[in-house]
Amino acid sequence: MPQNRLLTLLAGRPAIFDGGYGWLLQDRGLPAGEAAESWNLENPAGIEELHEEYAAAGARFLTTNTFGGSRPRLELHGLGDRVEEVNRAGAQIARRVADRHGALVAGDLGPTGELLEPLGILSEADASALFAEQLRGLAAGGIDVVLIETMSDLGETRAAISAAHDVVPDLPVIATMSFDTNRRTMMGVDPATAVAELAAAGVDAVGANCGRGPEDMSVIAEQLTAARHDDVLVIAQSNAGLPELRGGEFVYTVDPVGMAEHARELRELGVDVIGACCGSSPEHIRAITEALTR
């Protein structure tokens, strides 16, 4: 059996992902309702600054600012005819920072926002074409890894994996689902099924991101590692808890120390790649890095 491509690419680097982007960009001036991806074109310095902070905090994977970079999502913001441009720019910004720090660039694919058949009208083939369009831009910008994240539908996830195998066949593929509904995805997928199905589809790492916070993620991670398939790695990126309204603003409940403790627990459970998601900041990633590299 060939060696896992992601493991080969890591080559001894700490397997630490970065954290949240969208909420931090809003905190730094992204207008409410505006696509975060628009800043790849209009404020690249703002995106580069956040990548730089994550890299300095110890993240070895920098995630491109392209979560909503598919045509259906960009069309909502008048950017539907600039899909490849937006994604290429997002990858190029992350590439500049990664090269300064010896880090890796993860080309981010999020859900298209469209329902697949039979619940919707989008076929897997059509979804794959949408992801392929996005990936052509990401590949031109110089990504190292494909990150398919926050998925709930196995069909849509398989479509993204198929697109990656077609457009960037030599790159490792990571796929994570969000198990936020009684530890299942919105479409009812449980962690063990995700591992089996996505391993069969040809990913290099499978796991969970987002969700309801570290306590839930630890249970999910235990199920993921118990279902570990062949040489596929396991990844976990929890939210920093859930947001609570405090003094007129929403604040996430888990501080950097809490996320560091969670990272140690994930490592003990056998999780190979660890990062964070919504509500996390470079300070959270710094604490995770220190916890995992002591």
Strand partners, 235: 207, 273
Domains in the chain, please, with CATH?
40-293 (3.20.20.330)
Residue 2 predicted with pLDDT over 70 = no
| pLDDT confidence of residue 14 | 77
The closest of 130, 110, 144, 115 to 21, measured between CA atoms, is 110
Provide the annotated binding site. Answer: 210, 277-278
DSSP 238-277: E-SS-EEEETTEEEES--HHHHHHHHHHHHHHT-SEEEE-
For the annotated binding site for Zn(2+), the residues are: 210, 277-278
Q: How far apart are alpha carbons 93 and 248 in whole angstroms?
A: 34
Question: What per-residue confidence (pLDDT) applies to 1?
Answer: 40
pTM for the whole structure:
0.96
Contacts of 19 (CB under 8 A, 6+ apart): 54, 59, 237, 240, 275, 276, 277, 280, 281, 282, 284, 285
Q: Average model confidence (pLDDT) for the chain? A: 95
Tell me which DSSP letter residue 3 carries: P
Among 143, 75, 72, which Cα is nearest to 111's? Answer: 72
How does pLDDT run across 95-142, given as a tens digit for each residue?
A: 999 999 999 999 999 999 999 999 999 999 999 999 999 999 999 999
Of 268, 284, 267, 264, nearest in space to 276 by CA: 284
Query: pLDDT digit string (tens) for 185-243?
Result: 999 999 999 999 999 999 999 999 999 999 999 999 999 999 998 799 999 999 999 87
